[in-house]
Structures are given as structure tokens and as C-alpha cells.
């Protein structure tokens, strides 16, 4: 839940595109296989209902708002895919349902809270009101009967925000934004000290050195 007027995706790492590593020495076949599957995830939900998917899309837009000058990362679809394939963390808070059940329960409760407070489903609310409800969930202030034994703050911190943020940063577009090169297999790293960069890592743009970083990043493979 941040200001949606975000800068250009690659302001910090201008000219850098992690997918330029595709055929280079940095990635092996397994890395390419995993990323190919991730990039191929379609927009149709397989775990969530259509109505739930709309709500998850709205939630993701508030937790990780995206710049308008590039194709959006399909955060809701990535979360849906994870749940559809039953990929879990392997642990959960005492009393918290399993991941998929927690999502179904939490989305139902969030819509109930929106109906109680504003007379409309969560996804139909203005963005400012969506943020109000999410902040109240984060603070543990939402207590509609639909929550059952699931506390709203636990759902927010341990499931909803957790899954949304991990989905965002699992995507190569986000890797380019933060200058990450993806799994360093088989190449690995050589320069491991502070503020040292291997030639196959992205150069961060410092004030007055943006064009130098751009030139360097065009050759990162």
C-alpha cells in the first residue's frame, strides 16, 4: 500500500533486462525451464473462483502497486498457481488453516467486512477505502463472524501480504527492477566483498552516472 506514482521500472538499473541472460552462461537449463513456466502462467484462475480472483487482483494492486510504463506482473495469477499446485511454506501459525483454506476464508471475510462498512464487495471499493480495510486487517481490527478462528492480522501478515509480495518478486520483471540476476547457476559469483560487482551483475545508477550504468547494463549477460 504505497504511492502508485512509482518511477520508471529501471530507474535504478537503467538498460538492464534480466531475460538477456537467457542464453548466456549465467543460467542453466533448469533455470530456463522454471522461468519459462512462470512466464507462461495464464490469466484464468485454477484455484480461486472468478469472484475471488477479482478480489485477489485488487488486493495485489494495493500491496504491490505497479508502474504504468510496463506490462504488469500477474501477481494474482502467480498466487493462484502456487495454491493450485499446493506449494506451501511447510509451517503456519497455531490455529491458522492450511494456505488454501486460509485464502478462501480470508477473502470471504474481507468481502463481508466491505459489505458491513460500505455496502459493496471489496473489489468494488475505491482504492482509498480498500487501503483502509487492509490497514485495519493488518492491525487486527476486523472481527466479522466470517473470520471464524482466523485473526485478520495473522491472515494479512502470514498469508495475504506474504504470498502477494513473494509472487511479485518471483517474476523476472521484478528482478530487473531490483538488479537481481536470477539463480546464479551455473555461473555463481566471484567478487563477494561489500560494494563489489561481477561483470554479469547489474550496475546501479548513482547520481550523475545514469548513462554509464545504462551502457554497462546493456552488456550484462
Q: Residue 174: which residues within 8 A CB-CB, separation 6 or more?
A: 73, 168
Residue partners of 169: CB distance under 8 A and separation at least 6: 175, 178
Sequential DSSP letters for 119-145: SS-GGGS-HHHHHHHHHHHHTT----G
Query: What is the value of pTM for the model shown?
Result: 0.90
**Cα angle: 185, vertex 188, 193; to 5 degrees:** 150
What is d(CA 31, CA 211) in angstroms, rounded to the nearest whole number?
Answer: 30
What share of the chain in percent tops pLDDT 70? 95
Give which of 159, 170, 182, 5 is closest to 74, Cα–Cα. 170
* Burial (CB count <10 Å: 0-12, 13-18, 19+), residue 192: exposed
Q: What is the pLDDT of residue 96?
A: 84
pLDDT per residue as tens digits for the range 168-193: 999 999 999 999 999 888 888 888 88
Model confidence at 16: pLDDT above 90: yes
pLDDT of residue 192: 80
Check residue 3 and give its pLDDT. Answer: 38
The per-residue pLDDT for range 103-124, each reduced to its tens digit, is 999 999 999 999 999 999 999 9
Q: What is the mean pLDDT of the chain?
A: 91
Tally of CB atoms within 10 A around 80: 25
CA distances from 105 to 83, 97, 101, 183 (A): 14, 9, 6, 34
- Domain map of the chain by residue range? 41-175
What residue has cell string 550504468? 213
Quote the pLDDT of residue 169.
97
Amino acid at each position: 500500500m504505497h504511492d502508485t506514482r512509482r518511477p520508471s521500472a529501471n530507474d535504478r538499473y537503467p538498460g538492464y533486462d534480466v531475460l538477456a541472460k537467457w542464453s548466456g552462461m549465467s543460467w542453466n537449463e533448469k533455470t530456463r525451464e522454471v522461468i519459462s513456466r512462470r512466464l507462461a502462467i495464464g490469466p484464468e484462475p485454477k484455484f480461486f473462483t472468478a469472484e475471488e480472483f477479482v478480489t485477489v487482483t485488487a488486493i495485489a494492486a494495493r500491496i504491490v502497486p505497479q508502474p504504468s510504463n510496463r506490462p504488469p506482473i500477474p501477481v494474482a495469477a502467480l498466487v493462484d498457481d502456487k495454491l493450485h499446485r499446493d506449494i506451501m511454506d511447510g509451517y503456519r501459525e497455531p490455529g491458522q488453516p492450511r494456505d488454501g483454506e486460509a485464502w478462501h476464508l480470508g477473502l470471504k471475510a474481507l468481502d463481508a467486512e466491505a459489505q458491513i462498512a460500505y455496502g459493496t464487495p471489496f473489489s468494488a471499493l475505491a482504492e482509498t477505502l480498500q487501503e483502509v480495510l487492509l490497514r485495519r486487517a493488518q492491525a487486527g481490527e476486523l472481527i466479522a463472524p466470517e473470520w471464524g478462528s482466523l485473526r485478520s492480522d495473522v491472515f494479512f501478515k502470514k498469508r495475504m501480504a506474504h504470498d502477494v509480495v513473494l509472487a511479485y518478486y518471483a517474476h523476472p520483471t521484478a528482478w530487473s527492477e531490483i538488479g537481481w540476476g536470477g539463480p546464479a547457476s551455473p555461473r555463481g559469483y566471484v567478487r563477494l566483498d561489500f560494494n563489489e560487482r561481477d561483470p554479469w551483475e547489474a550496475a546501479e545508477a548513482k547520481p550523475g552516472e545514469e548513462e554509464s550504468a545504462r551502457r554497462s547494463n546493456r552488456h550484462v549477460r
